[in-house]
Structure 1
Amino acid sequence: MKIFNWAYKILKSWDFSDNVADYINLAVNIVVLVIIAYIIDYIFKKILIILMAIVAERTKSTFDDFLVANKTAKYVAHLFTLFFVYKTVPIILKEFTYWEGFFTKGVKFYIILLSLWIIRSIFHSLKDYLKEKPNFKDKPIDSYIQVIMIALWIYGIVYFILLLFDMEFKALLTAFGAISALIILIFRDTILGFVASIQVTVNDMVRIGDWITMEKYGADGDVVEINLATVKVQNFDNTITTIPTYFLISDSFKNWRGMLNSDGRRLKRSILLKSSSIRFLNEEEIENLKKIELLTAYLNKRQSDIDLYNKNHNIDKSLLINGRNLTNFGVFRKYIDRYIANHPGINKEMLFMCRQLQPTQNGMPLEIYAFVNDKRLVEYEHIMADIFDHILASVRYFEMEINETGAIKIEY
């Protein structure tokens, strides 16, 4: 502190009144303090930045690399400068009580703000580091960090108020209680987002990378970011849809994670056949259908059982409707069952079937329900198209017709 006393003695030797000399001394001391603080800040900033860069280069972990990228060393260097100023201000302003209190509070404010900034920088580095880890890629790290930072900012604001007005904590709580309704009104969205973010995280409703569909908001794509206020979805047309986090627990949405984690992607598609084309098969037609390899064994066994039943019950087969019979629709359905069972793109360990649905005014729906091995969209579509190309081309071999005016319903 000799430099400040030296400046004061020089000013006292000049022919000024005591008050003027004191204020000039104050101004000189502040200028000198600012210069010294700048030099200290510059030196420590250079030292810490260089030191951290050397450490980051020599370590295998990338966490310190992110600390460098987020300028953590620069913010920490400012703390050394502020500590020097905080200790020096009471000495150079000991004759100016008002200004000493003013500058001391200002330094304390800055220390609190800088401390929060340093913590934020460290958390951002931690976020970038964890997102490189496979176990944390799908976790809403942004939400966790935002929750912690909001708590720290609230603590910082409370400390600001206590320091600014020289209040006690109890008095501040009383004041907050009086204006709590206004606070809730102002921070309604933040509070709802905070609660929703916790529920989404705890219940594991959505992860980064999940494919979700929310028709109400036009979202159909992968979740790329989850934070306290919003969830960002990159749609398959590369547009971005932003959904308030709260709406994920108040509205309905579809998460496709279960399908992606399963052993197959569901294929559920129906075709409409003309009801008028459904009829019984005669013996000649059955013999022709036996030439289809997937049906040969089935038709031999089935026809044998039907003939035995009709013979034992003395059925008059002059009319096909009498007794038990095969229909072209039933045989076609069995053919599709066999075809799906032999298709390499279908997962045989999961449910698969060909079923008849409720008749409609447009015709008789025949639905294929199965799970495709390859869940990738392009490959899945190719396998499904291949299956239905074959089915549509097979219809004419069973003397049936597609109802082209009826709608074909597709579900995934």
Structure 2
Amino acid sequence: MIQDLMQYLPGAILTGAILVSYYIARWVLVPLAKRLVERSPVKWDNLLAQRRVFDRAAHLAPAVVLALGLPLVLDESVEIFRFITRLNNVYFVFVGYWVFEALLNVGMDIYLTSPTRQHLPIRGLAQAIKLVVFLLCLILALSQIADRSPVYFISGLGAITAILLFIFKDPLLGLVAGVQITTMDLVRTGDWIEMAKHGADGDVIDVSLTTVRVQNWDRTITAIPAYELVSSSFKNWRGMSESGGRRIKRAISLDINTVRFVDDTLLERFMGIRLLRPYLEQKVREIEEHNRQHVTDAEFSVLANGRRLTNIGTFRAYCVAYLRNHPHIHPNLTFLVRQLAPTAEGLPLEIYVFVNDTRWVYYEGVQSDIFDHLLSVLPEFGLRAFQSPSGRDVREIGQIITRAAD
């Protein structure tokens, strides 16, 4: 009886050693390691505890004890030894992947908290690495269970490629797209992008293996498949942010009926505008010199002869001077005040300049202030902004006609 029990003693001792090793690793070594990293002067090693690297690594202790102790308990030639060894190897593979995943998360966190990071979509790359490593671990585990070489399973993948492509279509497309997004630097976290196809217009908050999440300006979130950013067109406003200037491209439609030459009375009033005085003095001298050389006194009485100032040209010069002296207009980016082709809505005078601050609220405030001023100063130049007749205008015309008829 005692001899029968004695033959189970080595197995019991090995089982006890496995349980004790896990207890020591989980409840002694892990807390000790956490206290050490908390007291460490560096901060990045705290992520090892936060991502539970030590807790996961503790599960390797039983596998190591089993691998070392099993040859002392069982003969390597028996089937049960090989079976337990294969199961232990499978356990070792998946726990190893579990620890690797935690370490990869730590590396990703260190990168994201680094002040020198280059805004690469590290999350998508990390997910791609996890997928590839998991598939390799799965092949290793299957090879252990079936007691076959991993090459056997890799060579057999060709038969089920179509099924795998169907099942993992989005991850595979996302993996390829993630590599392209990274190498071509198409999108970074924090970029403002527009993609009308998916109704996205806002900041990129996450770039993962299969999706890019965008928080729109109305605070909704749009998820875009990663491969759509490669196969479809979208607008990225990063260049605007990095340039330090945000464009104003807006036109004032002027009533063509108010466009006229500048007479002496109007010129005298213009001379009182400080910003215009240098322009007018130089322009008047230039025009007088040209007319003296090319136009006789008799011909000059006809308005079509010779060169003359116009109120719209003078207003355009005022816009240039006003914007050149504006403290919030970027001096080194495109600066343009131009006329566009006349339309049924009047003559558009377009302002094409850049504000020196890209913040949305600040930019809108500067733009509004500029056009508040330009619209208010139009009467000083004898100009009027074009506006389609409103219901009130029609009613007033009707009242005038009625009074005239009476």
Deviation of residue 194 (structure 1)? 0.7
CA deviations on 1:236-273 (whole Å, 9 max, x unpaired) are 22222211111111111111111111132211111111
Asked if 1 retains the 8 angstrom alpha-carbon contact of 2:17 and 2:65, the reply is no
1:197, 1:168 → 2: CA distance?
32
Aligned partner of 2:341 in structure 1 is 358
Structure 2 residue runs of 5 or longer lacking an equivalent are 390-406
2:196 counterpart of 1:215 = yes
Tell whether 2:179 aligns with 1:198.
yes
- Partner letter of residue 314 of structure 1? T
Q: Secondary structure at the match of 1:136?
A: coil
Is 1:396 equivalent to 2:379 in the alignment? yes
Which residue pairs with 1:61 in the alignment?
Answer: 42
CA contact (8 A) 1:282 1:320 kept: no
CA contact (8 A) 1:130 1:137 kept: no
Mapped partners of 2:94, 2:231: distance in 1? 36
Q: Where does residue 296 of structure 2 map in the other structure?
A: 314
| Matched residue SS, 1:127 | helix
Alpha-carbon distance in structure 2 between the residues aligned to 1:196 and 1:163? 33
Count of matched residue pairs: 387
Offset of residue 324 of structure 1: 1.3
Q: Which moved more, 1:220-229 or 1:388-397?
A: 220-229
2:36 alignment partner, SS class: helix
Structure 1 unmatched runs, 5+: 1-6, 13-21, 407-412
1:302 aligns with 283
Tell me the residue number matched to 2:82.
Answer: 101
Deviates more, 1:217-226 or 1:85-94: 85-94
Structure-2 change in CA distance of 1:189 and 1:8 (3 Å): farther
Q: Does 1:292 align with 2:286?
A: no
Deviation at 1:120, TM superposition (A): 0.5
* Deviation of the 1:137 alpha carbon: 6.2
Contact 1:140 1:207 in 2 (8 A): yes
Distance 2:10 2:385 in 1: 96
Alpha carbons 2:339, 2:349 under 8 Å: kept: yes
Matched, 1:239 2:220: yes
Query: Hey, what does 1:72 align to over in structure 2?
Result: 53
**1:173–1:96: structure 2 CA closer, same or farther, 3 Å change rule?**
closer
Which residue identity is paired with 2:259?
Answer: I
- Asked whether the 8 Å contact 2:201–2:216 carries over to 1, the reply is yes
Relative to 1, partners in 2 of residues 1:222 and 1:95: Cα closer, same or farther, differing over 3 Å? Answer: closer
TM-score, with length taken from structure 1: 0.87
Report the more deviating stretch, 268-277 or 140-149.
140-149
Residue 361 of structure 1 aligns with an amino acid whose one-letter code is A
Cα RMSD over matched residues? 2.4
TM-score for the superposition, normalised by structure 2? 0.88
Which one-letter code corresponds to 1:197 in the other structure?
Answer: G
2: CA distance between counterparts of 1:8 and 1:240? 71
Q: Give the secondary structure class of the aligned counterpart of 2:304.
A: coil
Q: Does 1:265 align with 2:246?
A: yes
Contact 2:202–2:217, Cα closer than 8 Å, also in 1: yes
CA contact (8 A) 1:49 1:68 kept: no
Aligned-partner Cα distance in 1 for 2:261–2:16: 103
> For residues 42 and 203 of structure 2, what CA distance do their matches in structure 1 show?
29
Higher mean Cα deviation, 374-383 or 45-54?
45-54
Partner of 2:331: 348
Farther off after superposition, 124-133 or 54-63? 54-63
Q: Which of 3, 7, 22 is matched with 1:9 structurally?
A: 3
Equivalent in the alignment of 1:168:
149
Deviates more, 1:140-149 or 1:195-204: 140-149
**3-state SS in 2 of match to 1:212:** strand
Matched-pair identity in %: 36
Structure-2 separation of matches of 1:355 and 1:76: 69
